[in-house]
Chains A and B, each alone.
Chain A
Amino acid sequence: AQRVTQPEKLLSVFKGAPVELKCNYSYSGSPELFWYVQYSRQRLQLLLRHISRESIKGFTADLNKGETSFHLKKPFAQEEDSAMYYCALQTGANNLFFGTGTRLTVIP
């Protein structure tokens, strides 16, 4: 069965500091992984997906199959990054399985 683990419920960093939101997964198939973000009073929206290998709003995430991880990183946190971040695994059926989420607070 698939599982997505985000070990930190809350994470606070100072503005300008590096940030890393952890995500580990368990899945027998070939994983397709995503990070979704939910800003205050807004809907869930896609931040980035591993296959694109892109940087969005300064965030990157690398899929490490050996460690079964997909950690989200940003070298310099900004106040507007404060949000709820969800790691999600897509199965072959196209359904998304979410982690419990990490609430990131960037302190000015």
Chain B
Amino acid sequence: DIQMTQSPASLSASLGETISIECRASEDIYSNLAWYQQKSGKSPQLLIYAANRLQDGVPSRFSGSGSGTQYSLKISGMQPEDEGDYFCLQGSKFPLTFGSGTKLEIK
């Protein structure tokens, strides 16, 4: 199985701050990487797919990058509504696997 190592586990950011979350795959996943935001009690929402493609309706302050085994999600200018849990997903090979999550809070 492909292991997804996500870091950090938690993050506290000030309004307007730029933050990054990382995911490292245990093998090459060929940019089959997606990022999700999940708010408390809600379903996850797709932010980024294919490593760097912004899902329709997602604010442009979210961006994704990476290739091979290393990927990152950047939020350029933290907003109050960005609080929540963030997960990466590798869609390269079954079983599909998620990162362990990052809890993002406002400082």
A binds B: no
